[in-house]
Amino acid sequence: DAGVIQSPRHEVTEMGQEVTLRCKPISGHNSLFWYRQTMMRGLELLIYFNNNVPIDDSGMPEDRFSAKMPNASFSTLKIQPSEPRDSAVYFCASSPQTRDTQYFGPGTRLTVL
Amino acid sequence: TQLLEQSPQFLSIQEGENLTVYCNSSSVFSSLQWYRQEPGEGPVLLVTVVTGGEVKKLKRLTFQFGDARKDSSLHITAAQPGDTGLYLCAGSGTYKYIFGTGTRLKVLA
């Protein structure tokens, strides 16, 4: 079975540009999570969805970040405009239900110059 | 706010040594998981513990859930360079799933 799929794996962009990260969760999983990981702050939950509905976006740093889940098999995390401090590894994870074990994708390493 | 604090934060040891990583909280968790993350990859689930006092073994790794289900430990016997990585505990809290602060382990050959 395919695991969580993320694209792109690496993204290098310039400050001010729009960045879109993509995620395909494991089929049949009802919850999807977006995380950001840095050495300084560790693994931070940005937002999570349950049955395609955003449940908790309190971790989204500011209005420049937005996330959507138009259907059960696809989600995007968008940063507009991007800033150098957004440089991090962004992970998508899915789970059968919100409080179940999460399965992580390989991550997208974002570098904003 | 439920928190999971791990200690130590960093650990560098020689191959063959034993080590223990701790995951502590003031809150009760219905279950607790341990993940390992290798460089360039996402965290991968190692084990789930559910019952207070439960002990699970995975080859040279021994996981224990505290009797009160507020803490857990991971013990590695005869560490190998392949054990190098970031170890994360995570638990199902009252309303959501939360991750610990992480322990970064480096095993030197």
Distances from the Cα of B92 to the Cα of A51, A95, B47, B89, angstroms: 19, 12, 14, 11
Q: How many CB atoms lie within 10 A of CB B82?
A: 9
C-alpha A40/C-alpha A57 separation (Å) is 21
C-alpha A99/C-alpha A95 separation (Å) is 8
**pLDDT (0 to 100) of residue A84:** 96
Residue by residue, pLDDT tens for chain A (113 residues) are: 689 999 999 999 999 999 999 999 999 999 999 999 998 888 888 999 999 999 988 889 889 999 999 999 999 999 999 999 999 999 999 999 877 788 999 999 999 99
Q: Closest Cα partner for B6 from B92, B86, B107, B108? A: B86
Enumerate the residues of chain A whose CB falls inside 8 A of the CB of residue B88: 43
Enumerate the residues of chain B whose CB falls inside 8 A of the CB of residue A102: 90, 97
Cβ of A102 within 8 Å of Cβ of B44? The answer is no
Characterize the bridge pairing of strands A103-104 and B85-92: unpaired
SS3 A27: coil
Q: Closest Cα partner for A48 from A102, A11, A111? A: A102
Cβ of B41 within 8 Å of Cβ of A106? The answer is yes
Kindly identify which residue of chain A lies nearest to residue B96, measuring between CA atoms.
A99
Enumerate the residues of chain A whose CB falls inside 8 A of the CB of residue B42: 4, 91, 93, 104-107
**pLDDT (0 to 100) of residue A56:** 87
C-alpha B85/C-alpha B105 separation (Å) is 5
Cβ of B30 within 8 Å of Cβ of A100? The answer is no
What digits encode the pLDDT tens for the residues A46-71? 999 999 999 988 889 889 999 999 99
C-alpha B85/C-alpha B37 separation (Å) is 6
What is the average pLDDT score of chain B?
A: 92
Cβ of B99 within 8 Å of Cβ of A43? The answer is yes
Kindly identify which residue of chain B lies nearest to residue A109, measuring between CA atoms.
B40
Confidence of residue B72 (pLDDT cuts 50, 70, 90): very high
